[in-house]
Amino acid sequence: MPWLSILIAVPVLGAVGVALLPKGSDKLAKQLALVVSLVVLGLTVAMAVQFSPNGNRFQFEEKYSWIPSFGVHYGVAVDGIALVLIALSAILVPIVILASWHDAEGRPDATGLAPKRSAKTYFALLLVLEAMMIGVFAATDIFLFYVFFEAMLIPMYFMIGSYGGVQRSYAAVKFLLYSLFGGLLMLVAVIALYVVAEKNTFMFPELIGAIQDPTTQKWLFAGFFIAFAIKAPLWPFHTWLPDAAAQAPAGAAVLLVGVLDKVGTYGMLRFCLELFPEASKFFTPLVIVLSVVGIIYGAIVAIGQTDMKRLIAYTSISHFGFIALGVFAMTQNAQSGATLYMVNHGFSTGALFLVAGFLIYRRGSAQIADYGGVQSVAPLLAGAFLIAGLSGLSLPGLAPFVSEFMVLIGTYERYAVPAIIGATGVILAAIYILWMYKRTMNGPTAEPVKGFTDLNGREKWVVAPLIALIVAFGFFPKPLLDVINPAVDKTLTNAQVTDKQPVSTVAEKKGAGQ
Amino acid sequence: MQSPAEIVQHSGGVIGVSWLMIALPLLGAAILLLGGRRTNKWGHFLGVAMSLGAFVVAVLSFVELTGLDPDQRRRAFELFEFIPGMVNMGMLIDPLSISFALLITGVGSLIHIYSIGYMSHDRDRRRFFAYLNLFVAAMLLLVLSDNYVGLFIGWEGVGLASYLLIGFWQHKPSAATAAQKAFIVNRVGDFGLLIGIFTIWTTFGSLAFADLTQQVTGQASEGTLTAIGLLLLLGACGKSAQLPLQSWLLDAMEGPTPVSALIHAATMVTAGVYLVVRSGAFFEQAPTAQLVVTIVGVATLLAGAIIGCAKDDIKKGLAGSTMSQIGYMMLGAGLGPAGYAFAIGHLITHGFFKANMFLGAGSVMHAMNDEVDMRRYGALFPVMKVTAVTFIIGYLAIIGFPMLSGYYTKEGIIETAMEHNAILGWLAVLGAGLTGFYMSRMIFMTFFGKKRWADDAHPHESPAVMTWPLVILSIGSIGLGAFLILGNRFMNFLSPAVGLPQELPETHVFGFGPAALATLALVAAGAALAWFRYGAAEVPAVAPRGSFLTTFARRDLYGDALNEALLMRPGQWLTRIAVFFDNRGVDGLVNGLAAGIGGTSGRLRRVQNGYVRSYALSILFGAAAVVGALLYVGNM
Q: Would you list the domain boundaries of chain B? A: 8-554, 563-635
Q: Which of residues 382-401 of A touch B (CB under 8 A)?
A: 383, 390, 395-397, 401
Q: B601 falls in which pLDDT band (50, 70, 90)?
A: very low
What's the full length of chain B, in residues? 636
A174 in contact with B at a CB cutoff of 8 Å?
yes
pLDDT at residue B636 greater than cutoff 50:
no
Please work out, in degrees rounded to the nearest 5, the angle formed at the alpha carbon of residue B608 by the alpha carbons of B607 and B612.
120
Q: Which ranges of B421-486 would DSSP assign to H, the alpha helix?
A: 422-447, 464-485
**Residue B365 near residue B279, CB atoms below 8 Å:** no
Q: Which of residues 121-180 of B touch A (CB under 8 A)?
A: 149, 152-153, 155-157, 160, 163, 167, 170-173, 176-177, 180
pLDDT, tens digit (0-9, with 9 covering 90-100), for B20-37 = 999 999 999 999 998 888
- Check residue A311 and give its pLDDT: 94
A126 closest CA partner among A256, A307, A268: A256
What's the full length of chain A, in residues? 514
B567 in contact with A at a CB cutoff of 8 Å?
no
CB within 8 A of A313, min separation 6: which ones?
A241, A242, A244, A245, A246, A253, A257
Q: Is 0.90 exceeded by the ipTM?
A: yes
d(CA A89, CA A347): 10
Q: B494 falls in which pLDDT band (50, 70, 90)?
A: confident
B106 closest CA partner among B266, B237, B245: B266
**Residue A269 near residue A327, CB atoms below 8 Å:** yes
**What is the SS3 string spanning B254-318?**
HCCHHHHHHHHHHCHHHHHHHHHHHCHHHHCCCHHHHHHHHHHHHHHHHHHHHHHHHCCEHHHHH
| Inter-chain touch B630–A191, beta carbons under 8 Å | yes
Task: With H, G, I as helix, E, B as strand and everything else as coil, classify residue A203.
Answer: strand
- Check residue A409 and give its pLDDT: 95
CB within 8 A of A514, min separation 6: which ones?
none
Q: What is the mean pLDDT of chain A?
A: 89
Q: Which of residues 433-452 of A touch B (CB under 8 A)?
A: 434-435, 438, 441-445
- Check residue B207 and give its pLDDT: 93
Among A220, A239, A240, the strongest candidate for a mutation testing the B interface, having the largest count of B CBs within 10 A, is A239
| Inter-chain touch B612–A157, beta carbons under 8 Å | yes
Q: How far is B290 from chain A (nearest CA, A)?
A: 23
**Residue A514 placed within a domain:** no
A166 in contact with B at a CB cutoff of 8 Å?
no
**Residue A383 placed within a domain:** yes
Nearest CA in chain A to B631: A195
**Residue A513 placed within a domain:** no
| Inter-chain touch A150–B619, beta carbons under 8 Å | yes
B203 in contact with A at a CB cutoff of 8 Å?
yes
A471 in contact with B at a CB cutoff of 8 Å?
no
pLDDT, tens digit (0-9, with 9 covering 90-100), for B100-149 = 999 999 999 999 999 998 888 888 899 999 999 999 999 999 999 999 99
| Inter-chain touch A506–B204, beta carbons under 8 Å | yes
Q: Which domain holds residue A359?
A: 3-505
Q: Following CA atoms A368, A372, A374, A376 in sequence, which dihedral angle do they give, to the nearest 10 degrees?
A: 160
| Inter-chain touch B626–A187, beta carbons under 8 Å | yes
- Check residue A362 and give its pLDDT: 87
d(CA B425, CA B624): 83
- Check residue B439 and give its pLDDT: 92
pLDDT, tens digit (0-9, with 9 covering 90-100), for B503-559 = 888 888 888 888 888 888 988 998 888 888 887 778 777 777 777 777 777 777 777
Among B9, B126, B127, B171, the strongest candidate for a mutation testing the A interface, having the largest count of A CBs within 10 A, is B171
**Residue A232 near residue A265, CB atoms below 8 Å:** yes
pLDDT at residue A173 greater than cutoff 80:
yes
Percent of chain B surpassing pLDDT 90? 43
- DSSP annotation of B93 reads E
Among A146, A147, A405, A509, the strongest candidate for a mutation testing the B interface, having the largest count of B CBs within 10 A, is A405
Interhelix angle B20-35/B125-144, nearest 10 degrees: 150
Q: Which of residues 485-504 of A touch B (CB under 8 A)?
A: 485, 500-504
Number of domains within chain A: 1
| Inter-chain touch A426–B177, beta carbons under 8 Å | no
Q: Which ranges of B368-463 would DSSP assign to H, the alpha helix?
A: 385-399, 405-420, 422-447
Q: Which of residues 106-165 of A touch B (CB under 8 A)?
A: 150, 154, 157, 161
B542 in contact with A at a CB cutoff of 8 Å?
no
Among A177, A317, A408, A473, the strongest candidate for a mutation testing the B interface, having the largest count of B CBs within 10 A, is A177
Among B149, B206, B587, the residue with its CB nearest the CB of A506 is B206
Q: Strand (E) positions, A29-94?
A: 59-67, 72-78
B451 closest CA partner among B513, B380, B385: B380
